[in-house]
A and B are shown apart, each in its own frame.
Chain A
Amino acid sequence: EVQLVESGGGLIKPGGSLRLSCAASGFTFSSYNMNWVRQAPGKGLEWVSSITSPVAYTYYGDSFKGRFTISRDNAKNSLYLQMNSLRAEDTAVYYCARSISPASFDYWGQGTLVTVSS
């Protein structure tokens, strides 16, 4: 059974940093491109970042370039999102999701809530 489990969310002050993790199981992690998608409270879905495999090419939404860094460790079946210079508007549930095509994500984690507040 495919499982994606995010962790690392929490309450952080503006300007702070946080590293999210996503543990994958039930499939050959190294064979799939992976993504982070976020959802602010009461709002819609917003693509954050993608990373390919086996060569780790990375892509970011404009709002995240220079602040967020996506990475993966295929040996540990894990996906990461390093978030720096966090702002109040980054408050959201962050989901990791597996790609089957550029905009089609067939499995999603349960999400981890990031709250940026002083």
Chain B
Amino acid sequence: QSVLTQPPSASGTPGQRVTISCSGSSSNIGGNSVTWYQQLPGTAPKLLIYINNERPSGVPDRISGSKSGTSASLAISGLQSEDEADYYCAAWDDSLNGPVFGGGTKLTV
């Protein structure tokens, strides 16, 4: 059972906009910034979003993050086949004194 809650799956067609939710509590998302990772099949995770909505260089601006209260969302617009991957949210947890992850959402395009 993951500390952060994500839907196990999401889907969309090419060109569509999809959102993936991440729910936590006051000890993690409520008081700390959220990070999102993308994991393509058979590869290591890749940093997608940090500090709630910041994109590392190389991540396209059709990918965005937001946070409100104890929940966060990842939005991908202009969906492409190469977006098909697993997506994980993460945040520092003040009670556990370490980072916690969501269970992951498998995005099908």
A45 and B98 within 8 A (CB)? no
A-B CB contacts (within 8 Å), total count: 68
Q: Could you pull out 15 A-B pairs where Cβ atoms are within 8 angstroms? A: A35-B99, A44-B103, A45-B45, A45-B90, A47-B99, A50-B99, A61-B96, A101-B51, A102-B32, A103-B32, A103-B92, A105-B35, A105-B37, A108-B45, A111-B44
**Majority SS of interface residues in chain B?**
strand
Shortest Cβ gap from A34 to chain B (Å): 13
Q: Is B2 in the interface zone, CB < 8 Å from A?
A: yes
Please give 18 more A-B residue pairs, beta carbons under 8 A apart, in addition to A47-B100, A101-B35, A103-B32: A45-B39, A45-B101, A47-B101, A59-B98, A61-B98, A95-B45, A100-B50, A101-B33, A102-B32, A102-B99, A103-B99, A103-B100, A104-B33, A104-B50, A104-B51, A104-B90, A107-B47, A111-B44
Contact of B46 among A35, A47, A108 (CB under 8 A): A108
- Say yes or no for B68: interface residue by CB 8 A criterion: no
Per-position 1/0 for A36-74, Cβ under 8 A of B: 010000001111001000000001111000000000000
> Which of A59, A95, A103 interacts with B35 by CB under 8 Å?
A103
Q: B-contacting residues of A (Cβ < 8 Å)?
A: 35, 37, 44-47, 50, 59-62, 95, 97, 100-111
The interface residues of chain B lying within 8 Å CB-to-CB of A97 are: 45
Q: A104-B50, A108-B46 are in contact. Are A46 and B101 (CB under 8 A)?
A: yes
Chain B residues close to A by CB (< 8 Å): 2, 32-35, 37, 39, 44-47, 50-51, 56, 88, 90-92, 96-104
Measured CB to CB, the closest approach of chain A to B80, in angstroms, equals 22
Q: A62 and B32: CB pair below 8 A?
A: no
